[in-house]
A and B are shown apart, each in its own frame.
Chain A
Amino acid sequence: MHENKIGSRFVKWLLICVSILFIFLMLVLPLITVISEAFRSGWETYKQAVTDEYTIKAALLTVEATLFAVIINTIFGVFAAWTITKFHFKGKKLLTTLIDIPVTVSPIIAGLIYVLTFGRQSFLYPYLKELDIDIVFAIPGIVLATIFVTFPFISRELIPVLEAQGTDEEEAAALMGARGTTIFRRITFPHIKWAFLYGIVLCTARAMGEFGAVSVLSGHLRGKTNTLPLHVEILFNEFKYVPAFAVSSILVMMAIIILVIRSVVEYIGKKET
């Protein structure tokens, strides 16, 4: 028995060391690299790169696209989760599959289908041209692509929680004469509040970092249709490594903030249930 215990302790620490080494090499070291490369030429260069006119414009566009994605996907997520979990209807399975499609296709394909829908060869193109609406290689395209890639993020978090909660409470409230909005506010929302926040955090993270789909639709016009990740790409490909990493460091900080919020939300949510 004694021997077995020593053996198991050895295995335990071996596995812990392997895990920590793996996490360090794959996750921590890249973060350290971004920060150290960003400050390689000192604080002044860093500040210059971060406050560069194009960087700020790119940051603003990233914020804009992220905001749109979070708002639209929140509206969609709440209504879709409500529809799917509170009612019985035909084709529910098909509906949930369709909602999940955006996360299963490659971001490049996401970009491609929007180019096909709104681009020059589309039957919609003449009408859009007449109305003077640019979608491909313009800001609406970037916003649409960002919404697409994060589309199911909020509904996905809400559906399991609402499913587990069942429909009894809502039915009781409805029978007693409560209105839909009251039922949602007083009964449903308290159940989903943490899942809801969690979904928003995930949606924000993915939306601000989206690269592939946005890259297809952006046309890479500096100062016009450039988001932060695209700006990083341009700088890096021009061998401007220090500015590229400086701009990346903004995104790294955002990522860390998101991770912290995520952990806190998850922790409180777990404690409450």
Chain B
Amino acid sequence: MKKVNKRVIPGFGLSMGVTLSLLSIIVIIPLASLVVFTSQMSLSDILKTITRDRVVASFEVSFLTAFIASAINAVMGVVLAWVLVRYDFPFKRIVDGMIELPFALPTAVAGIALTSLTSDQGIIGKFFAKFGIKIAYTRIGIVVALVFIGIPFVVRSVQPVLEKLDGSFEEAAGVMGASRARIFRKVIFPEIRPAVFTGFGLALGRCIGEYGSVVFIAGNMPFKTEITPLIIMSELQEYDYASATAIALVMLLFAFLLLFAVNLIQSRNAKILKGG
């Protein structure tokens, strides 16, 4: 039953060994300790923790703001990707490079910068205050921070698809008299749809877990602007590891479901990119 000869390239044992040992130390053992810790808790305790009013309210705040922010990014992401792929304009390369800023800028810095911009004394905050709209320390502020965090996801997943898109279908549709809006809806959008959903899903996952940028701008009022990661954080600071773990399990479950959905869409998307 020896299949050694099937592997011509050397180094399987060594590289598999290094990969698995590092993976175990960094990821598997810590995750396993979460499982072990959870198994010591009773189901009713977990349920009691995650149905506390304050926790349920935080789920609502987190999911709602992350969803709105990702939806805004889905729309703006398509617009940005379209503009960057199809048009030429001054400073295009700089705009293209800027898209990645939210990945490079530490979230805490983004958080305090956005907070000071949108508070009553900030430029943007002052402007909206005239209309009676408060941004910082409200749910709108959380959405603003999450929009910032999520910008690159949709753009970077739609951009390659648009670049590979065959222009001849659009031309054909145009020659046959379809309006531009109709061409976009019927010809282009179906092609980029999986990429938009992928980007949306990735942004949503990131936004729900986001902590650094949100804690500054949110004001963190219980029931109003308190996000779920912050609740986990405060449970940890009170050494209430059981509650922290119970709430984290809900977030993990959601993250894995989302990842699963994104992977499903992505494998279909890969086929489009390969032209299959």
Contact = CB atoms under 8 A, between A and B. Distances in A.
B108 to A, nearest CB: 4
B259 A170 contact: no
A22 B150 CA distance: 13
Contacts of B6: 88
A19 B33 CA distance: 46
Interface in A75-93: 75-76, 79-80, 82-83, 86-89
A151 B28 CA distance: 12
Interface string B22-51: 110011111101100100000000000000
A236 B110 CA distance: 13
B265 to A, nearest CB: 15
B95 A215 contact: no
Contact of B7 (A87, A109, A230): A87
Contacts of A205: 103-104
B229 A76 contact: no
Contacts of A230: 108
Contacts of A15: 79, 82-83, 87
Nearest to A184: B11
Nearest to A173: B9
B8 A180 contact: no
B173 to A, nearest CB: 13
A86 B12 CA distance: 9
Contact of B212 (A8, A116, A211): A211
Nearest to A216: B236
A83 B16 CA distance: 6
Interface string A193-207: 000000000100110
Nearest to A111: B236
A108 B209 contact: yes
B106 interface: yes
Interface in A14-52: 15-16, 18-20, 22-23, 25-31, 33-34, 37
A180 B29 CA distance: 30
Contact of A30 (B11, B28, B93, B113): B113
A259 B104 contact: yes
A7 B181 CA distance: 11
Interface string B58-81: 000000000000000000100110
Interface in B10-24: 10-12, 14-16, 18-19, 22-23
Interface in B154-202: 180
A165 B212 CA distance: 38
A113 B9 CA distance: 37
Given A107-B212, A183-B9, A211 B106 contact: yes
Contact of B9 (A12, A20, A174, A260): A174
Given A75-B22, A252-B109, A263 B97 contact: yes
B245 interface: yes
A273 interface: no
B33 A34 contact: no
Contact of B104 (A11, A83, A229, A255): A255
Nearest to A178: B10
23 contacts: A15-B79, A15-B87, A29-B123, A34-B112, A76-B23, A89-B12, A102-B27, A104-B256, A106-B211, A109-B252, A112-B241, A113-B34, A116-B245, A117-B30, A121-B241, A148-B30, A151-B26, A170-B8, A180-B14, A211-B212, A232-B106, A233-B108, A255-B106
